[in-house]
Structure 1
Amino acid sequence: MEVKIGVQYAPREIVLESGQSADEVESAVAAALAGTSQLLSLTDEKGRKILVPSDKIAYIEIGEQAVRRVGFGTL
């Protein structure tokens, strides 16, 4: 699943492919924004951990996993 994180005072957003479900990502974001944790911690498909301070989060976009298309034609 694709997750985009907008961070305050950063010119670019953080984009990652996560193996977590949408509900797991949403609960982690809700916990970070509620103040129960100071960091939003997500793990991407390669096992790397992304940590974002919860007070610097501007927005989170949770989307479906992008399907990689091969070729020149559109279907």
Structure 2
Amino acid sequence: MDIRIGITHGGRELSVEIDDEAAEDAAASLEGALSGDETVLWLNDRSGRRVGVPIDKLAYLELGPAGDRRIGFAAD
């Protein structure tokens, strides 16, 4: 599963790949962070790294399947 995170006042988005089984944990962690229980959203990626994003800097979070991302000009 691919997670894209937009950060306020940031020119780029953060992309994190997680295991499909960890997707529900990531959604639960986001809900807990947004409810005010936590100040940092922590995610574990596929290679075992931890990524932390301060909740007050979170612009958006997009969860979706890791798939074919096309870059450039492509015709369907």
| Alpha-carbon separation, structure 1, partners of 2:49 and 2:22 | 16
Number of corresponding residues: 68
Determine the structure 2 residue equivalent to 1:42. 43
**Once superposed, which parts of structure 1, at least 4 consecutive aligned residues long, lie more than 6 Å away?**
none
| Alpha-carbon separation, structure 2, partners of 1:9 and 1:60 | 15
- Measured against aligned partners, the alpha-carbon deviations of 1:53-74 in whole angstroms (never above 9, x if no partner) come to 011100000001226xxxxxxx
TM-score of the superposed pair, with normalisation by structure 1:
0.81
Gaps of 5+ in 1: 68-75
- Measured against aligned partners, the alpha-carbon deviations of 1:10-63 in whole angstroms (never above 9, x if no partner) come to 100000101243321111111111110110000100001000001110000000
| Alpha-carbon separation, structure 1, partners of 2:63 and 2:43 | 12
Gaps of 5+ in 2: 69-76
Superposition CA RMSD, Å: 1.6
